[in-house]
A and B are shown apart, each in its own frame.
Chain A
Amino acid sequence: MPSCLIVDDSKVVRMVARRILEDLSFGILEAEDGKRALTACLEKMPDVILLDWNMPVMNGIDFLRTLRNAENGEQPVVIFCTTENDMAHIREAISAGANEYIMKPFDRAIIEAKFSQVGVL
């Protein structure tokens, strides 16, 4: 079963994403900020990371840059999932190493489409 780490400071968003992804047969891990997500990744790299941008302690873009420089940090597929819905943020995320980008709000169709595009579904 592939694993997905959901990183978002909103409990509601994590719950909605968890429901969709469990239904798509992913094993789910959760983290509420970038720092906790890094700790989880260093313990065991997940297959996919669904990543919010604005979070306390460590935001999504700083997490991603740190992850991509870590040992085996190039492995997980990273999909941003954020309310930052402008081209400048999208370009910044992709150049920092994100594989895909979801603009909130999202639904099951969008999650399925994006996960298929990056080959994890």
Chain B
Amino acid sequence: MNSKDFQLFCDIVKSRSGLVLTEEKIYLLESRLVPLARRRGLENLAALADEVRRYNDERLLEEITEAMTTNETFFFRDTKPFDTFRDVVLPQLLSARAAKKSLRIWTAACSTGQEPYSLAMLLKEQAAKMAGWRVEIMATDISHEVLEKAKAGLYSQFEVQRGLPIQLLMKHFQQVGEMWQIDSSIRAMVKFQPKNLLEDLGNLGQFDVIFCRNVLIYFDQPTKSQVLTQVHNILAEDGALFLGGAETVLGICDSFKPVDGQRGVYTSVNGGLMAATG
């Protein structure tokens, strides 16, 4: 691929999603965009770049962005954040919201839905403690294609074996041919909608817990700062922000502080979780 075409694709993806592609990611760009080009009857990426320059077709630009922003995910990814949510964050919020009995959780960049469904299964396991509570799990992603898959809740044998304990497969899934479908009662707990993290997030409302894991690593510094500032604005002051293992707010956004002893968990400097130390 010539450097002009590479730059064209990088600019499209950066301006629409914030994702920064460096030259060592050429292989990724090729592996994701060649199938897209073929689906449109184009021979190679040079022809795809020509198509973009010639027609500037909005749907094509969207497809290119979606192809580059679709990332791998799996159930209970990294395990620890879900343990922390269940054992540290949830008990505090159940106590703090005892009068209101309402919780809102957002998983940003949810991809094919494993993260929000992991939270939904985990909350269902806590049903005895949560009788009468209204819990909303909002799950968003920039890609319409992955959201369709997420809504269907249908996963391959390979996908259900990465991170999902067999007891939860037995309890919450049905076999459909060669696929496994998560039960409708779990699917009903999650509301999926498209959302670009570069857009205004204010209309999502306020959340008690936000999972924004393994997203910021793909952004440059100003974009990280912009997204974190918006996230702070819609997170309750005693709420919790979960980031990926390789991500931090330090040096990027001073509205958050780490929750003591809980790697990857942050809370607002204005209030914060009770366990947080300032």
Residues of A that sit less than 8 Å from B by CB: 85-87, 90-91, 94, 100-103, 106, 109-110, 113-114, 116-117
- A109 and B162 within 8 A (CB): yes
Q: Is the interface of B mostly helix, strand, loop or mixed?
A: mixed
Please determine whether A113 and B170 come into contact, CB atoms closer than 8 angstroms.
no
A-B interface, 5 closest residue pairs, ranked by CB to CB distance from nearest: A101-B166, A110-B161, A113-B162, A117-B165, A103-B157
Contacts of B158 in A (CB 8 A): 110
Task: Give chain B's interface residue range (CB within 8 Å of chain A).
Answer: 10 to 19
Residues of A contacting B: mostly: helix
Q: How far apart are the CA atoms of A103 and B179 in the complex, in Å?
A: 12
Which residues in B have their C-beta under 8 angstroms from that of A90? 166, 169-170
- Please pick, from B74, B157, B162, the residue contacting A85 in the complex, using a CB distance under 8 A: B157
* Shortest distance from the beta carbon of B118 to any chain A beta carbon, whole Å: 13
- Give B157's nearest chain A residue, CB to CB: A103
A106 to B174, CA, bound (A): 21
CB nearest neighbor in A for B79: A116
CB-based nearest B residue for A109: B162
Identify 12 new A-B residue pairs, CB closer than 8 A, beyond the known A87-B174, A113-B161.
A85-B157, A90-B169, A90-B170, A94-B166, A100-B165, A102-B161, A103-B161, A109-B162, A110-B158, A110-B162, A117-B163, A117-B165
Q: Is B31 an interface residue (CB 8 A)?
A: no
Residues of A within 8 A of B170 (CB): 87, 90-91, 94
Q: Which chain A residue lies CB-closest to B167?
A: A94
Of A87, A91, A114, A116, which is within 8 A of B161 by CB?
A114
Smallest Cβ distance from B33 to chain A, in angstroms? 25
